[in-house]
Structure 1
């Protein structure tokens, strides 16, 4: 079992969040890409950036 995105940065510490996607997650790829593009701390992985489902709703 993998918890898809867990808590990070507990007790005032910085942390890293990792999200795993599969082709069955195409319905969220566009929104995730948009959210990452707006973040000053996150980067859009090249694979997500190129995925057809991440280009438009």
Structure 2
């Protein structure tokens, strides 16, 4: 069974942004922050930056 990780959610958000699907990307990132818990915005942001480098290769 496949389970999405925070890395896969971040890669999905990059895909949505690349295809100008900003409301969907915002919803997805809000979902990730809500799942990680209060005060997690900095760790989610670091993950987004990390996966940005992977997606853009």
Would you call these one fold, judging by a TM-score over 0.5? no
Please, what TM-score do these two structures have when normalized by structure 1?
Answer: 0.37
In the superposition, the TM-score normalised over structure 2's length comes to 0.37
Whichever of the two has the greater Rg, that structure is 1
